[in-house]
Amino acid sequence: MSLPKQIYLYDTTLRDGSQGEDVNFSLEDKLRIAEKLDDLGIHYLEGGWPSANPKDLEFFRRLSGARLKNAQLVAFGSTVKKNLTPGQDPQVSALAKLPVKFVTIVGKTWELHIREVLRASRGKNLEMIRDTIDYLAQRGKKVFFDAEHFFDGFRHSKSYAQDCLAAAVEAGAQGICLCDTNGGAMPEQVMKTCAEVIPRFPTRFSIHAHNDCGLAVANSLLAVAQGAEMVQGTINGFGERCGNADLCQVIPDLMLKLGFRAIPEPNLKKLRETSHLVWELVNRPPESRQPFVGDSAFAHKGGQHADAVLKDSRTYEHIRPARVGNRRRILVSEQAGKSTILHKAKEFGIELENRNPMARKILKEVKKRERQGYEFEGAEASFELMMKKAFGKRKRYFNFHGFRVIDEKRDIDKVPRAEATIMLEAGGALEHTAASGVGPVNALDAALRKALERFYPQLKEVRLVDYKVRVLPAGIGTASQVRVLIESTDGRDYWGTVGVSDNIIEASWQALIDSMDYKLYKDEKKRPRKKPGPGG
């Protein structure tokens, strides 16, 4: 039996991805991402446009040599300016001097751009493509040609768009990338265009699809089906406007659905952690509904679904979550059934038999709390603590006695001032502390830490990464109840906690208390038990 065909992956997260709104990478961010993508098994890593950005130039200087073990580093540039020779054009000549083997050159293939943007003739554009690639190839570079707006150009003039590809191949391009730069091509157009064009040229073809119609991944897969050997994309689909093809979808689709080889099979398990690293470095929470790697990708809420998937995962899961480094989540909600409670108990290390009335009791409590406004789907830490309490196993690390918050703004103040005072008992001592903050919740958080860190120094690791307030539909305006969801991390794990009250400070306090409690509980649960001594 013949092995599946190899598809090569070209990642442009650090160049095209960084052009997305709210996506900014520092030099150190780019280096960390590059090493993570190299470890994942990406074949080509486009690092940026060195002639346009000093940071990118330093990136190539720092990363050249033997730092990458698997990926080939690629520099990006454009065809020569119309009134210059390649040697006279600073950005082209800089590419020739860069210590990298591979270079990608973007050039026009759509007459609209040639006429309105370049303000050049069709013949001059072909000359620019040919001269730029020839200049770099003569200086030892392996050149890929990005045929910008190719699908638009092909639709308006098949012959001229292909003349552009021919010019690139004749000049020595190692590969051609067909770009749907506007993201407007329909699947049938991509399929027919690739089927017509790819067999005509003796070179490797790749596809670069944007997601303006929500079709970037689908169009990439269709191009592969018609003979493209390489896919360009970005981690998490970052990129201009609506983004690029998401490699976190492309890779498992190619390997698990279509039978191609892409990255090494064991590396699929690194996909989720790679995705989350990039989310973290752009300081945005991961997209929970992202296919394959998102938190909701294998989450089951309905009682019937949860019951079925626990009996046989194939009933509602198209792959095993672990194959892409993800996990199944059984969500606790008012739609949950007893099987959900039994599963969560097992997940938390609690022995709970099917006939145990405690399962019904906990389910009843969940539904009661959700009627009050609680939501445990994003607050599994609060649910685990609630379950421990139901079994009489929730340990109290401190006892709360009270808090007071002052939020003050006078006419002489530029911004309001917040101060929180709390009283609690920990380690047999009564703590009465105060702290200020940028708002009442921040002040409460600071005061709570100030009181507890002397007893539990590990709380210094905890930081709040997300804080959400939802006004519940009570229909009484500012007197409505609110639900506060807090996401916390200690740099290793993430957990969510919830609080509900008609007072936003009280709701926030509930969620904060649970967050600190859960950190202490989690650390104690992971701590290895001491071996008993002689006779123990």
Three-class secondary structure assignment of 368-434: HHHHHCCCCCCCHHHHHHHHHHHCCCCCCCCEEEEEEEEEECCCCCCCCEEEEEEEEEECCEEEEEE
Q: Are strands 142-148 and 175-180 parallel, antiparallel or unpaired?
A: parallel
Closest CA to 511 of 418, 376, 336: 376
Q: Which CATH class is domain 8-263?
A: alpha beta
Q: Are strands 417-426 and 429-437 parallel, antiparallel or unpaired?
A: antiparallel
Structure tokens at 32: 């960390």
* pLDDT tens-digit series, residues 123-141: 999 999 999 999 999 999 9
Please give the structure tokens belonging to residue 353: 């038999």
What is the rounded end-to-end Cα distance, in angstroms, of the chain?
60
Q: Report the distance separating Cα 323 and Cα 288, nearest Å.
A: 18
More reliable by pLDDT, 517 or 360: 517
Q: Which two tokens stand for residue 340?
A: 């959900």
Q: Which of 260, 258, 288 is nearest to 276 (CA)?
A: 288
Contact, 129 vs 94, CB < 8 A? no
Q: Is 220 left (phi over 0), alpha (psi -120 to 50) or beta?
A: alpha
Mean pLDDT, the chain, as a whole number?
89
What pLDDT is attached to residue 536?
A: 33
pLDDT in tens, 14-58: 999 999 999 999 999 999 999 999 999 999 999 999 987 888 989
Question: 361-366: long-range contacts at Cβ-Cβ below 8 A with a sequence spacing of 24 or more?
Answer: 361/390, 362/386, 362/387, 362/390, 363/336, 363/337, 363/338, 365/390, 366/332, 366/333, 366/334, 366/336, 366/341
- In the β-sheet with 429-437, what is the strand arrangement from edge to edge? 399-408, 417-426, 429-437
Helix (H) or strand (E) holding 148: strand 142-148
User: pLDDT above 70 covers what percent of the chain?
Assistant: 92
Q: How confident is the model at residue 333 (pLDDT cuts 50, 70, 90)?
A: low
User: 358-385 pLDDT, tens per residue?
Assistant: 877 777 777 788 778 887 767 888 888 8
Are 283 and 277 within 8 A, CB to CB? no
Span 287-313, mean pLDDT? 85
Q: Mean pLDDT over residues 191-219, rounded? A: 98
Dihedral of alpha carbons 526, 370, 465, 212, sign? positive
Instruction: Please check the confidence at residue 334 and state whether its pLDDT lies above 60.
Output: no
Give mean pLDDT, residues 514-529: 82
Q: How far is CA 317 from the centre of its chain?
A: 21
Three-state secondary structure of 16-51? CHHHCCCCCCCHHHHHHHHHHHHHHCCCEEEEECCC
Q: At residue 443, does pLDDT exceed 90?
A: yes
- Residue at token pair 């967050």: 515
pLDDT-based confidence at residue 529 (cuts at 50, 70, 90):
very low
Share of the chain above pLDDT 90, in %: 64
d(CA 334, CA 297): 20
CA angle 430, 432, 436 (to 5 degrees): 150
Tokens encoding 284: 């945005």
- DSSP β-ladder status, 142-148 and 102-108: parallel
Q: pTM (2 decimals)?
A: 0.74
349 has pLDDT over 80: no
> Among residues 148, 80, 103, 134, which one has the least CA distance to residue 10?
103
Structure tokens at 372: 């009050």
- Write the CA distances from 234 to 47, 89, 269, integer angstroms: 12, 29, 18
Cα 226 to Cα 144, 145, 442, distances in angstroms: 19, 19, 56
